[in-house]
Amino acid sequence: MTGADLPSMLPEMLPRLWAFALRIAGDQHDAEDLVQRACVRALERAHQLQPDTAPLSWMFSIVHTTWINELRARSVRKRSSMEWDDDFLENIADPSGQTPETQAMNAQIIDAVARLPEAQRVVMLLVAVEGLSYQEAADALEVPIGTVMSRLSRARQAIGAQFATRDDVPRGATQRKDSIA
């Protein structure tokens, strides 16, 4: 696979790129713009695609980098304009006809993932949602595989903690209120 093959491969990648962009951007229009900018950037730099690099991972990397650049630009613009309000995000009904309980649980999970720090959220999306291996996610984010594993572990712990009940006891811990000291 060379950079010359990229234009013919992009249409097949677009649904996954758009889904990833939607998850990190949280807005349909931002996601569309993000994928468009990433595709233009990839086509302009197709010669930089190495033969041993997975094209999808490379594209995820470009989408992520483009998003980070957009966040930085928004941060600069935000200082002099109205803030972006997450309340403007739309919730799209699931056409599969899930029960209200399932829909509520899915909304809670999505909210828990959305509350993660950006680095953990992106790793969670790449590995758990997009199905990338740890190495592919590391390549896409240009970080060591250990960093991916660490961020994913912390993300899972944070999400688990949000759903833990008061009766839950951490693994390996034993507590008895009636024990004699």
Answer left, alpha or beta for residue 122, where phi above 0 means left and psi between -120 and 50 means alpha: alpha
101 vs 120: CA distance, rounded Å: 27
**DSSP result, 119-161:** HHHHHHIIIIIS---HHHHHHHHTS-HHHHHHHHHHHHHHHHH
Based on the domain organization, do 13 and 74 belong to the same domain? yes
Does residue 172 belong to any structural domain of this protein? no
Q: Are residues 105 and 55 in the same domain?
A: no
Instruction: Measure CA of the first residue to CA of the last residue in the chain; give whole Å.
Output: 67
CA dihedral of residues 82, 78, 22, 67 (deg, nearest 10)? 170
Last residue of a domain, one of 47, 78, 109: 78
Q: 54 or 35: which carries more pLDDT confidence?
A: 35
Q: Are residues 9 and 50 in the same domain?
A: yes
Domain range for 152 is 100-165
Residue 152: pLDDT band (50, 70, 90) is very high
Q: What is the pTM of this model?
A: 0.57
The number of residues making up the chain comes to: 181
- How many beta carbons lie within 10 A of that of residue 48, not counting itself? 10
Q: Which two tokens stand for residue 157?
A: 């712990």
* Domain harbouring 111, CATH code: 1.10.10.10
Total tally of structural domains belonging to the chain: 2
Query: Alpha helices, DSSP H only, in 45-141?
Result: 55-78, 100-114, 118-124, 134-141
Query: Please, which pLDDT band fits residue 160 given cuts at 50, 70 and 90?
Result: confident
Furthest CA-CA distance within the chain: 73
pLDDT of residue 167: 56
Contact residues for 43 (Cβ-Cβ < 8 A; gap 6+):
6, 7, 10
Least confident of 6-10, 27-31, 38-42, 177-181: 177-181
Residue 14 lies in a domain: yes
Using DSSP, state whether 93 is helix, strand or coil: coil
User: Domain check: are 56 and 16 in the same one?
Assistant: yes
Q: What is the mean pLDDT of residues 47-63?
A: 88
Same domain, 74 and 11: yes
Residue 136: inside a domain, yes or no? Answer: yes
Is 46 part of a structural domain of the chain? yes
